Chains A and B, each alone.
Chain A
Amino acid sequence: MMRRVLFLWLAAVMGAIVFIIPPAEGLGNVVKIAFFHIPLAWVSVLGFLLSAYWGIQYLRTGEMYYDLKSSTAAKLGLFFCIFATLSGMVFAKLTWGAYWNWDPRQITIFILLLIYGSYITLRSAIPNIITRARTSAVYGLFAFFTVPFLMFIIPRFYFSLHPEPIINRLGRLDMDSIMAYGLLLTLVTSTALFRQILCYLLKKEYRKYPANMADRIGKDGMKL
């Protein structure tokens, strides 16, 4: 039932982006790519943050359930990160004429891709379940500590082609209100989609773990 509702909601949002949101001044219809790119980028960062949070929970409690959640969130985050990068590249090509030019935001998303990739490579190289859980949780934490440095330092050092963050430094919204509401809607939709896919993956992945986690996973796929 939930899945059907989500599917209809997703279809409605995509329809709204294509047909209802007006073209922007200057950028035209190309701006609609941003309505896909921004939620995908948001969700990939969300996956990363959740992975780091559940990694801390695993180190704190030692429960394998948190390792399962942490690794699943990371894998899903990587998946969305790849699409965010691709959509950003298409937008860059249409707007600035080149797919990739090491713009600061491109550097940061590339580094996020690297971190995800290294995390998953690390996990696949360690056979022992507990060592794997601890090591990847610690690596996730180290990666998390680099995030403030990436997010705040790099863009300030390098000239950026990227549009200013929507809520810019003066705290004002630099967008049409209809666009702003549209963007907010896509952010909520992508978060809901992320949660749904995460629950589904948790139900599939838990069988790889020796401990019986069926009761923790539950009917939904996730008990928070």
Chain B
Amino acid sequence: MDLSMSVELVNLGKKYNHKGLFQGINAVIKAGQCLGITGSNGSGKTTLLKLIAGIEQPSEGYVYMKGNRGDLRREERVGSIGMVSPQIAFYDAMTGIENIMFFCSCSLRRCSIKDAQEGCMRVGLDGYSDDLVSTYSTGMKQRLKLAIMLVFQPTLWLLDEPSSNLDAVGKKIVGNSIKSALQDGATVIVATNECWELGYASEHIILGECSVDSI
């Protein structure tokens, strides 16, 4: 089982129609490390995460991923990446547990009902896990996104504003999840403007005004 992954961004850039969003992004994040991405609204934080996830193609540059057994091509990255993002949506016709089990079934590591229930408990959804997602509030859906990450345990965590719509308890769960993921050797990339979330990161990328600072 691939338990570690390093991510390398080489000269990454993205343009939409006429507008350039960002360019010249370079970074290396090893297993057990956290990269923080921050910037003003519209600077491309979510887009950068999508480029790393492989959902969008960069206009220039490359994203390299290396697992235990060597370089991972795009089609091999599925099953190793998990994402929390405002754009993540669930199936309203399925319950919370069913959604967790469905999305976690993409890897060979089988997810049992017990694992899914435990995941719901860790994020505080244990009373609602058998309800349809259509009845969930925005905060509950955010917690469900975290539950999937905790059950799935991907080697690469992509977090886009993970504590949005969450109360103080929820934010604590986010912090603990990031900490335990890093301790387990996962690679974490967080895109946020919250200082406390960026505090977990050893490297930072600041986007905005088409310039990049890598500290």
Complex Cα distance, B17 from A210, in Å, reads: 7
Is B18 among interface residues, defined by CB-CB distance under 8 A?
yes
**What residues of chain A lie closer than 8 Å to B16, measured between beta carbons?**
128
Complex Cα distance, B56 from A128, in Å, reads: 13
Complex Cα distance, B16 from A129, in Å, reads: 8
Q: What total of chain A residues lie within 8 Å of the partner, measured CB to CB?
A: 3
CB-CB contacts of B7-40 with A at 8 A, as 1s and 0s? 0000000001110000000000000000000000
**What residues of chain B lie closer than 8 Å to A129, measured between beta carbons?**
17
Minimal Cβ-Cβ distance residue in B for A127: B17
Q: Which of B176-195 contact A (CB under 8 A)?
A: none
Complex Cα distance, B18 from A129, in Å, reads: 9
Minimal Cβ-Cβ distance residue in B for A62: B57
**What residues of chain A lie closer than 8 Å to B18, measured between beta carbons?**
210
Tell me, rounded to whole Å, the shortest Cβ–Cβ distance linking A118 to chain B: 24
Minimal Cβ-Cβ distance residue in B for A210: B18
Tell me, rounded to whole Å, the shortest Cβ–Cβ distance linking B13 to chain A: 14
Minimal Cβ-Cβ distance residue in B for A134: B57
Tell me, rounded to whole Å, the shortest Cβ–Cβ distance linking A126 to chain B: 11
**What residues of chain B lie closer than 8 Å to A210, measured between beta carbons?**
17-18
CB-CB contacts of A118-147 with B at 8 A, as 1s and 0s? 000000000011000000000000000000
Complex Cα distance, B17 from A128, in Å, reads: 6
Complex Cα distance, B93 from A126, in Å, reads: 30
Complex Cα distance, B18 from A210, in Å, reads: 6
**What residues of chain B lie closer than 8 Å to A128, measured between beta carbons?**
16-17
Complex Cα distance, B16 from A210, in Å, reads: 10
Complex Cα distance, B148 from A53, in Å, reads: 44
Complex Cα distance, B20 from A210, in Å, reads: 11
Minimal Cβ-Cβ distance residue in A for B17: A129
Q: Which of A171-224 contact B (CB under 8 A)?
A: 210
Complex Cα distance, B80 from A133, in Å, reads: 30
Minimal Cβ-Cβ distance residue in A for B18: A210
Complex Cα distance, B209 from A186, in Å, reads: 58
CB-CB contacts of A97-128 with B at 8 A, as 1s and 0s? 00000000000000000000000000000001
Complex Cα distance, B59 from A129, in Å, reads: 13
Tell me, rounded to whole Å, the shortest Cβ–Cβ distance linking A115 to chain B: 27
Tell me, rounded to whole Å, the shortest Cβ–Cβ distance linking A27 to chain B: 54
Complex Cα distance, B121 from A54, in Å, reads: 55
Complex Cα distance, B14 from A128, in Å, reads: 14
Minimal Cβ-Cβ distance residue in B for A129: B17
Tell me, rounded to whole Å, the shortest Cβ–Cβ distance linking A18 to chain B: 50
Tell me, rounded to whole Å, the shortest Cβ–Cβ distance linking B51 to chain A: 14
Q: Which of A3-44 contact B (CB under 8 A)?
A: none
Complex Cα distance, B59 from A210, in Å, reads: 13
Minimal Cβ-Cβ distance residue in A for B56: A130
Minimal Cβ-Cβ distance residue in A for B19: A210
Minimal Cβ-Cβ distance residue in A for B20: A210
Complex Cα distance, B18 from A149, in Å, reads: 40
Complex Cα distance, B18 from A128, in Å, reads: 10
Tell me, rounded to whole Å, the shortest Cβ–Cβ distance linking A71 to chain B: 16
Minimal Cβ-Cβ distance residue in B for A128: B17
Complex Cα distance, B17 from A129, in Å, reads: 6
Complex Cα distance, B18 from A58, in Å, reads: 19
Tell me, rounded to whole Å, the shortest Cβ–Cβ distance linking B12 to chain A: 16
Tell me, rounded to whole Å, the shortest Cβ–Cβ distance linking B210 to chain A: 16
Tell me, rounded to whole Å, the shortest Cβ–Cβ distance linking B214 to chain A: 27
Question: CB within 8 Å of A: which residues of B?
Answer: 16-18
Closest 5 CB pairs of A and B: A210-B18, A129-B17, A210-B17, A128-B17, A128-B16
A-B contact pairs, 5 of them (CB 8 A): A128-B16, A128-B17, A129-B17, A210-B17, A210-B18
